[in-house]
Structure 1
């Protein structure tokens, strides 16, 4: 495949589109309400709905290239094959979480920031959480794997380079209000696993389903970490920075929840 200006635009949108979109959104929010960033973390469904702009632009790019959806991984051999890929992929992704949980528990903040990020979704209803999960799976997989990885493979022929750039873009694209540095570091693991799964299956529908199932499972358990998210947001401090006798019951709940998250 020969590089073209249209493909260059597509790669730019796929690799950094989410990060740019997030920064623009935050700049607009700060301009409208300078004090908005001073309060507790909150989830605005509009920021997730806006993520659909990225795959919409990429579909226009694919059309401008004269390519088909098959060129961005929209491949399904059969319904049974798709189901098999989803079950195997979800099992591999879940298994990687379980196997590495004890190791991650000893790195950085031990999972506090990741738990707080998950807990910040507790204010959403069940249907809203499922919308967020499906949106993440559909939009992110289309960008980072369906378009970026496929085009990079076609242009460079290098699996390590293409996969590495896809993983890096996925991780950087998650840095923002919901996920801090420690949480983003942990997101690198599923980013790598999902990239390897895509290189194995080369099926975008399968990856979308696996990603959406993984996120749905986490978000449906957001209530377990709601108190920790509130504590982390309070005055910009971590829950461990201000402990009193009144906080003891909450701390006990947080400890139990974190133990579950860490696989202890």
Structure 2
């Protein structure tokens, strides 16, 4: 499994070993490198800092003693402000593959759910405790492989994730009716956004009305159900434009747009930029995506 997708170079250092599904590295994407898309989860502990982390085009300043959980599929870029890139070598990262835990295996936490704890840098009350646990896990990863070793790593990782859940319960399931409705909608959207942008389709699949979905979405996000759908499609479009070598037409087709012009209009409406203009913002980074290749970009 490569840590980045649609890249020619493999980042083997941040790839969890197949026998364990859990691994360790300094950073999942090197500081100053081009924006990449992770295929694995990454728990990034920054013991010194500062470390700039751009996750899905939101910039976070991670100071000393903070931890960030980056999810599979998210666009990721690291940088070290006013400091030599070597300073990022102090960071320690635990990576693990999706599907390592069943959805209901860890109480109150579904690790593969994109909504969960530590989505922005979490200030740890005792960073040394987490650093010791992550260093211990990393040392065990380097040991002899086997079923017992894999089970040990899995239990160590579960303990880390549950500690994060206790520290940050922002991803806990809402208890009200509208919250539960929106949660069902959000999960269905995550699986189907590339196939349908029609709220009517999601309402039919969930056995409710469009009005119910819209009311739940407004209550939970301040956005209509249609806006929530379009937000998710636009996010994926930005990820693919910034971090892959797919053409603009290929990005559009992967999201259900049969015609590049339709995709271009949608993207401009959602972001205020053409796909080519957005992609050009990432062309000046080392290894960045080349500029627009189509006249209609």
TM-score bin, normalised by smaller chain: under 0.3
Greater helix content: 1
Q: TM-score, with normalisation over the residues of structure 1?
A: 0.28
Greater strand content: 2
Q: TM-score, with normalisation over the residues of structure 2?
A: 0.26
Q: Relative contact order (C-alpha < 8 Å, sep 6+): which is higher?
A: 1
